[in-house]
Amino acid sequence: MADRLNISTVMENKEKRSILIPYKIKDGRVLVYLQKRAKDARRLPDYFGFFGGEPEGEENPEEALEREIKEEMNFIPQTYKLLGKYDFGKSVKHIFIMEVDDNFENKIQVLEGEYGKYFSEDEALDEPKLIEEDKIVLRDLYKFLWAKN
């Protein structure tokens, strides 16, 4: 019984995050929209990363996603879908994806971080200021999208 309690406690102590990856397919390439974090950000300052964050109170992953994206991008995502739930040891991330149109940047306002930027597959996977966990997720996204097409 003690082992069960320890495992349960470990799971409860993991940081939970809901993440949105806006993407578009243009000229046969997948472009993902990432956030440039502020130089004084609490987590990973001056790095690129995903938009999203932690649930508040009893929010489920979708509710947390919608609130966080409204706070960070002044946008309410509508047509997103779950890519997967990723357990990275210290955190559990619900990764949602949403295909966007060419006018996406005009529909949002980046309110957290410095700015947003589109990255091609090669640019994202070669970006030194993008953590390996995020690159793992992106590799899965690319596999999923290429298998679909």
Instruction: Dump pLDDT digits (tens) for 55-110.
Output: 999 999 999 999 999 999 999 998 999 999 999 988 999 999 999 999 999 999 99
The stretch 35-64 carries a mean pLDDT of 94
**pLDDT for 12:** 60
Instruction: Enter the pTM of the model.
Output: 0.89
CA 11, distance to chain mean position in Å, is 20
CA dist 62 and 60 (Å) reads 6
**pLDDT for 41:** 86
Mark 30-50 as b/e (b = at least 16 C-beta within 10 Å).
Answer: bbbbbbbbeeebeeeeebbbb
**pLDDT for 5:** 40
Q: What kind of fold does domain 2-148 have according to CATH?
A: Nucleoside Triphosphate Pyrophosphohydrolase (3.90.79)
Instruction: Dump pLDDT digits (tens) for 101-145.
Output: 999 999 999 999 999 999 999 999 999 999 999 999 999 999 999
CB 21, CB 96: distance < 8 Å = yes
2-6, 28-32, 68-72, 88-92: range with lowest mean pLDDT: 2-6
CA dist 134 and 41 (Å) reads 17
Domain assignments of the chain as residue spans, ordered by start: 2-148
**pLDDT for 74:** 97
